[in-house]
Amino acid sequence: MQVLSTALLIVIAVLLFGFLIFFHELGHFLLAKLSGIRVNEFALGMGPRLFGFRRGETEYALRLLPIGGFCAMEGEDEASGDERAFGNKPVWKRILVVAAGGIFNIFLGFVLMLGVLAPQKIYATTVISQFTEDSATSAAGAQAGDRIVEIDGYAIYTDRDLSFAMALADPKAIGMVVERDGRRIGLGQFAMNTQTLEDGTEVVALDFYVRPEERSFFGLLGRAGADTFSMARMVVESLKGLLTGRFGLNEVAGPVGTAQAISQVAGAGLSQGFGQAVSNIVVMMIMITVNLGIINLLPLPALDGGRLLFLIWEGLTRKPVPPKYEGYVHAAGFALLLGLMVLVTFHDVWRIITG
């Protein structure tokens, strides 16, 4: 029974991952239609076409592989005489269409976050309620009622920010700022109590409790928005860590590593019930969809953000970059991106094999 449940969770995870990519393309599709751009095909899935139908000018198709989809617009990558072609629309409309995919991914993260938070009756805050025995945080000068607002320079707005910052902190020298009676008070740097994980890693052990907050309708909306924003900040901070060398290849996961992580969190959730396992998967999906949204909007070749950069240049100079040269840039970026994906996937497999 355990094996069947795990297998079912993996299938659910694969389908959900495909849905996240499909939802990204749906953003392009809806904004293209609203902008009067001709969409030749909108497909669910990739690979060989299974079946489809035509409605108006657009072919709607279901394809074999459940790993996303695509939105093929007229004149998207080549010149077209059709007045409704992508390239013949005003630059501001093209910017909206290109940006819509990433924005839809982030919005989906918000909707999924609502689904995760709605069943909860109380939420954790960042206000300290009490301390454990021999608390290093208390010894550093923190008091009950203090709101934690910064850890090692990282702004704290939600308990997710707090957990993320604590996970990255150096247990031997953590810097904390709290808000007390409307004033910001720095506690300086101090050593936190620690605990050792199974792999030997030493991490911060929380030595205080935070106040709960009761659920309300508007509180739920605000909390879902704040938590989604927190996840977006985690993505940005993680990318900064990769660029500065703080994180290495071991902290990067491709599709194989992501599937393994989903399987692990699902397995952990199964010990508490199938519903908890699904909830764990949804939280992973939120992180993945926010990742997709943020990364796709970065100004990198072959990504939506790279195309946005060219469109913004066109809007500022009133002169588009010749399609030939833009194509060269995106082709080179795609080759580099593909090479990175191969490297990360190989590392994922090697990590699984070697444990």
State the residue for tokens 């040269």. 325
Strands 202-204 and 194-196 turn out to be antiparallel
Residue (of 126, 233, 125) closest to 179 by Cα position: 126
Question: Are 47 and 64 a contacting pair, CB within 8 Å?
Answer: yes
Residue 71 DSSP code: E
Residue partners of 309: CB distance under 8 A and separation at least 6? 299
In this structure, the number of other CB atoms found within 10 A of the CB of residue 155 comes to 11
Q: Which of 25, 74, 76, 326 is catalytic?
A: 25
- Count of residues in the chain: 355
d(CA 263, CA 268) in angstroms, rounded, equals: 9
Catalytic: 25?
Answer: yes
Residue (of 175, 170, 249, 160) closest to 202 by Cα position: 170
Alpha helices, H only, the chain: 2-34, 91-117, 136-139, 159-168, 217-244, 255-270, 274-296, 304-317, 323-354
3-state SS, residue 184: strand
Residue (of 237, 170, 244) closest to 203 by Cα position: 170
Question: Are 315 and 91 a contacting pair, CB within 8 Å?
Answer: yes
State the residue for tokens 């970059």. 321
Residue (of 54, 44, 48, 52) closest to 19 by Cα position: 44
Residue (of 238, 245, 163) closest to 204 by Cα position: 163
Q: Hey, which residues are catalytic here?
A: 25
